[in-house]
A = this chain, B = another copy of it.
Amino acid sequence: MTKLKNDTLIRALLREPVPYTPTWLMRQAGRYLPEYNQTRARAGNFLALCKNPDLATEVTLQPLARYPLDAAIVFSDILTIPDAMGLGLYFAEGEGPKFERPLREEWAIRDLTAPDPADHLRYVLDTVSQARRALAGSVPLIGFSGSPFTLACYMIEGGGSSDFASVKKMLYQRPDLLHHILNVNASAVTAYLNAQIEAGAQVVMVFDTWGGMLSHAAFHEFSLAYTARIVAGLKREHDGVRVPTIVFTKGGGGWLEDIAAIGCDAVGLDWTIDIGAARARVGTRVALQGNLDPAILLSSPEAIQREAGAILASYGRGNGHVFNLGHGISQHTPPENVAALLETVRGASASYH
């Protein structure tokens, strides 16, 4: 494989010196880009786009043609695994993800098995390989998955929810069943991320979107323990090159030290925590990724400059910062505001390195 021309992301994740703070944006290939919407229309819908490696590769590269980003992230969805398990992922227009066959019965839960990524998730691995080739070493490619708990939330509830009452009911009333689901999910995510690494992903990230709605004790038992098992089971090197891992728990600011202790290289932060305070808490154990409120991208270039500058200043001098949003970019973001953000970070961050 070609040597990376821009390896600032990898180096920042490993807390090595970099000339500026590398930046990528969660959901950077998405609906705020007119060219994305055109490709999606050609595919028919979001899921068809995910499952078409040619078109998924195309949209993976789109934001890099526009912006000086320091990474690409494979275009996919966090819920590919339960879909491969046979739960039937679909997206109703204007709504979030849904499953045709959510886990409602004990027999269905007991029947659950981890899918072989080479079989049912082939389309993701093909996208990873194609995107890696197309990038030609310009910037690293990030692979990802939802966390075992976040997958379980959608698998049990059958879709998004404001309180995930069914999940929590199972958690407190039948913890054995939830642990069974989480066990299967953890094996599935480990195999899936390792397959992405073998297919060409140079960084992998676990998205724990819903761990933050758990109690302190439940988060540790039902979310973090399984993410830790994944991190322990990941290939840390491929072709002789380190493959850094990022763990992001939305709403996980209270458990930062615990997340930083599971062996990942970097911890993603949402925008509710001051990144300087977070850095003081984790010390030199991990790099930190974040943490601009994506809503700031809906405002003006002046506000973006001020708020991005405040994050760089709060992190301060030294290694280990990857700039990102604290959550996925909004579909209503004016593309020129993304340009303003990236210009600001690239320019203003040099003085901290």
A residues lining the B interface (CB < 8 Å) = 163-165, 168-169, 171-173, 212-219, 251, 253-254, 271-274, 277, 293, 295-296, 298-300, 303, 307, 310, 326, 330, 332
Contacts and interface: CB of A to CB of B under 8 A. Distances in A.
Contact of A168 (B168, B217, B295): B295
Contact of A273 (B216, B218, B296, B326): B216
Given A216-B273, A272-B215, A165 B254 contact: no
Given A254-B253, A296-B168, A298-B165, A216 B173 contact: no
Nearest to A275: B216
The majority secondary structure among interface residues of chain A is: helix
A296 B254 contact: no
B172 A295 contact: yes
Nearest to A160: B162
A178 to B, nearest CB: 12
Contacts of A273: 216, 254
A274 B307 contact: no
Contacts of A254: 253-254, 272-273
A18 B243 CA distance: 56
A217 B293 CA distance: 11
Contacts of A172: 295-296, 298-300, 303, 307
